Amino acid sequence: MPKTIRIGCASAFWGDTCSAAAQLVEAAALDYLVFDYLAEVTMSIMAAARMKNPLGGYATDFVEVLTPLLRRLHDGRIRVISNAGGVNPQACAAALQAACDQAGVPLKIAVLLGDDLQPHFQQLASQGIREMFSGEPLPSACVSTNAYLGAPGIVEALRLGADIVITGRVVDSAVVSAALVHAFGWAWHDYDKLAQAALAGHLIECGAQCTGGNFTDWREVADYEHIGFPIIEVSADGQFIVTKAEGTGGLVTPLTVGEQLLYEIGNPQSYLLPDVTCDFSQVKLIQQGKHTVRVHGAKGLPPSDQYKVCATWLDGFRCTATCLIAGIDAVAKAERVSQAIINRTSQMFSQRGWAPFSEVNIELLGSEATYGQHGRRQDSREVLIKIAVRHPQRAALVLFSKEIAQAATGMAPGLTGLVGGRPTVSPLIRLFSFLIDKTACRLDIELDGQHHPCALPAIEPLETADLPGAPDLPKPQGRADASVPLVKLAVARSGDKGNHSNIGVIAREPEYLPWIAEALTPEVMVDWMSHVLDPLLGRVERWYLPGTHSLNFLLENALGGGGVASLRIDPQGKAFAQQLLEIQIPVPQSIADQLN
């Protein structure tokens, strides 16, 4: 058994930089190289690609990036795990095999099958399935239907001798946890180790986001141009360090890693994964050296007996137009022009007997539109008008896309033309999430032309009583007679969970957390973020993580339908944390004096 395992992550999404894999292979002395490519919208894009071409539907970037590295991977015995297969992992494997053959590099490529439930859609439709958040019934037709598999299938592929494992939909962290389970021979009931492994995967799955990317204190991050992608070094007891390759840009500190710890999670004491239920509330992040952070303290409990399934379905069409308007009273002109465009095209729809717009979203970028009632810039002399619309008929939005141009000569002055030319009309994809019994998925590994069935480990029942209770929030001591913006006291990051968004807030010093918690109640958050919360279904939950002196907020129904369907300029809530960091937090004068 090795003492430690080194894993590097070279991709956070489909379209990430092509340079990270070479950086890690050349400079990091890795045992494993992992790639994460998939999001819900990516699955629908890949499904559409496969419908056009039976050989499409996977992350072509993966093959392009690995091809020049195949000899080094072979000679360095670096094994590769990736969900690049999307909705067509066999085609991805075939393309990579062709590259290996051409390069004369004998790497064994395995494919994990079993996540794709689209062939069984009619059977699922007869089961009365409901959306896990809204309770709505399953749509009559879906573009893609995929279960979030865990690590066992990947572990079996590694056991069978695969050098490269290609999967379809798996939970993002599984590409890392599978490597660790295989390397260290952990049992499937070693839940604390599995929780640490899941945390390790969660921290590096978004690539450079834990090495200084998307970090609140961005001025402290050196050399974005050559930012280092993350490396974890894990020991057999599950403890690990997060670091990056020597000589690369970026920053690795407890705060950069901590922001990623809270990124896109809900309840940190019950983070549900297919192989383990994680409790991250007592995790500690310790600076061990320059650009090196030690991580320990994750706890685990048995997983549930269900997989989460994400289906995507077509809900009409969408079109987004953007145009610049400049000059005196730009905001007022933009408001008048954008409303006139909608009114004009709505009347034309009515004349043709078409339904009205299903949804209209107008945002004036440059007027602090994303800040809602907190926006302060109404005096801008240039504004980008963004009009996003939805309609059940494609023909209606084609008409809309043509009629916008008339505004340039027939409406307010200063409109410089459409940015990017006439807008295109595209299908609007919505997400539908539900739970199924794990037995509904049959896992197979395809390797060397043979299929190897993979049985799931026996499941211990998860007892609700075993879930940890919420820790008590510390109470502030003293009197608050001053106030400072939250950014002085904390760093924060936000992201999406379907139609929900989370905002993680980490105190810069432990003594700041009581004052932050006293001020940032769920009620205050509802008020501050009311411009994004659904007026009927929007709500906010809050959790406390004592180990990292942090709070996690889940904003339910805050994204206008979520990343795959939202018409907003910020469909994934990426800017929510930036807005929150401006809120004033009452503190004692002594703290305010330290920070000024």
Tens of pLDDT, residue by residue over 250-299, are 999 999 999 999 999 999 999 999 999 999 999 999 999 999 999 999 99
Share of the chain above pLDDT 70, in %: 100
pLDDT of res. 146: 96
Q: Which helix (H) or strand (E) holds 231?
A: strand 230-235
Of the candidate ranges 14-23, 148-157, 420-429, 463-472, the one whose mean pLDDT is the lowest: 463-472
Whether pLDDT at 301 is above 80 = yes
Coil, strand or helix at 7: strand
Question: What is the pLDDT confidence band of residue 465, given thresholds at 50, 70 and 90?
Answer: confident
Predicted pLDDT at 467: 83
Q: Is the pLDDT of residue 1 over 80?
A: no
The vertex-535 CA angle with 389 and 138, nearest 5°, equals 65
Q: Would you call 457 exposed, middle or buried from its count of C-beta atoms within 10 A (0-12, 13-18, 19+)?
A: middle
Cα 269 to Cα 484: distance, rounded to the nearest angstrom: 30
Contacts of 15 (CB under 8 A, 6+ apart): 61
Q: Which of 458, 463, 488, 489 is nearest to 476 (CA)?
A: 489
Give tens-digit pLDDT for 175-208: 999 999 999 999 999 999 999 999 999 999 999 9
Report the distance separating Cα 497 and Cα 514, nearest Å: 27
- Say whether pLDDT at 481 is over 80: yes
**Length of the chain, please?**
596
CA neighbor of 234 nearest in space, from 264, 258, 200: 200
Q: What is the mean pLDDT of residues 522-551?
A: 97
pLDDT score of 197: 98
DSSP per-residue letters across 158-172: HHTT-SEEE-SSB-T
Q: Is the pLDDT of residue 498 over 90?
A: no
Mean pLDDT, the chain, as a whole number? Answer: 95
Identify which of 6, 143, 151 has the alpha carbon closest to the alpha carbon of residue 86.
143
Q: How far is CA 120 from CA 117, 305, 456, in A?
A: 5, 20, 20
* Euclidean distance between CA atoms 356 and 345, whole angstroms: 9
- Give the pLDDT confidence of 364-403 residue by residue, as tens digits: 999 999 998 888 877 889 999 999 999 999 999 999 999 9
Q: Is the pLDDT of residue 464 over 80?
A: no
Residue 53's alpha-carbon distances to 45, 56, 88, 244, 337, in angstroms, are 12, 5, 11, 39, 42
DSSP 8-state class, residue 438 = G
Residue scoring higher pLDDT (378 or 349): 349
Answer whether residue 489 shows pLDDT above 80. yes
User: CA 455, CA 420: separation in Å to the nearest integer?
Assistant: 51
pLDDT given for residue 460 in this prediction:
84
User: Can you tell me the mean pLDDT for 105-110?
Assistant: 98
Encode pLDDT of 215-239 as tens digits.
999 999 999 999 999 999 999 999 9
Query: What band does 418 get if pLDDT is binned at 50, 70 and 90?
Result: confident
On whether the pTM is more than 0.85, the answer is: yes
Summarize pLDDT for 44-78 with one digit per residue, the tens: 889 888 888 999 999 999 999 999 999 999 999 99
Q: pLDDT at position 23, please?
A: 97
155: confidence class by pLDDT, cuts 50, 70, 90: very high
Top pLDDT among 430 and 151 is at 151
Closest CA to 294 of 4, 2, 1: 4
pLDDT (0 to 100) of residue 345: 98
pLDDT at 396: 98
